Amino acid sequence: MTDTITIDFSEIEPRDKYKIMIGTIVPRPIAWVTTVDAGGRPNAAPYSFFGCLSSDPPIIGLGIEYRADGRSKDTARNIRDVGVFTVNIVSHSLADAMNTTAFPFDEHVNEVEMAGLTLRTGIKVASPAIAESPAALECRLHSFIDLGKSREIILGEIVAARLRSDIINERFHIDPMALDAVGRMGGSAYSTTRDCFDIKPPTL
């Protein structure tokens, strides 16, 4: 049996906890979140502290780090102010554009324009969707969870999904090859979801 190393999280720094988490909890899906502020100005930013938590009700969770000075990032502030957001799925062809929107631009800079992307009006929410994305999940704010000074947790309820027609069939099954989503690994590394395999559920 291979030797193991035990790390007591109460004895290491927050940054080291972060490095262990992002290196082991992989690949992480990327929520490419679009919002609008109270004045209607759009914002886009990717977050890999993201996951689906419930299907009834359909709840997703975002973990958004605070700025270095302790203020909320534009995405979190907009969600608080307006109460809605849209999660766009990042396909492999959009990885570079997504990376552009990760840059900490000034709050008045339009990240979507900088990345050469197109916005389209939301169906049921005020926040727009990224037109080039294969799937967009429109959400209403469910609740915030305050974890302290590091990161705020946002729960959103999906109220509508806009999907490219070639990725979904009449039984609502999504074709992972057509979606071609990318995931986040540790550091600057990403992964594709093209190498899939099936395992049949166990039976007695």
Q: CATH number of the domain at 128, please.
A: 2.30.110.10
If you count DSSP H runs as helices and E runs as strands, how many of each does the chain have, helices first?
A: 5, 12
- Predicted confidence at residue 148, as pLDDT, reads 82
Both structure tokens of 169 = 């069939």
Name the residue range of residue 108's domain: 29-163
* Domain assignment present for 82: yes
- Predicted confidence at residue 20, as pLDDT, reads 97
* Domain assignment present for 87: yes
* Domain assignment present for 155: yes
Direct distance between the N- and C-terminal alpha carbons of the chain, in angstroms, rounded to an integer? 30
* Domain assignment present for 35: yes
* Number of domains making up the chain: 1
- Predicted confidence at residue 57, as pLDDT, reads 97
Say if residues 194 and 175 touch (Cβ distance below 8 Å).
no
Residue partners of 56: CB distance under 8 A and separation at least 6: none
In this structure, what is the dihedral angle of CA atoms 142, 42, 179, 123, given to the nearest 10 degrees? 60
One pLDDT digit (tens) per residue for the chain, 204 residues: 899 999 999 999 999 999 999 999 999 999 999 999 999 999 999 999 999 999 999 999 999 999 888 899 999 999 999 999 999 999 999 999 999 999 988 877 888 999 999 999 999 999 999 999 999 999 999 999 988 888 999 999 999 999 999 999 999 999 999 999 999 999 999 999 999 899 999 998
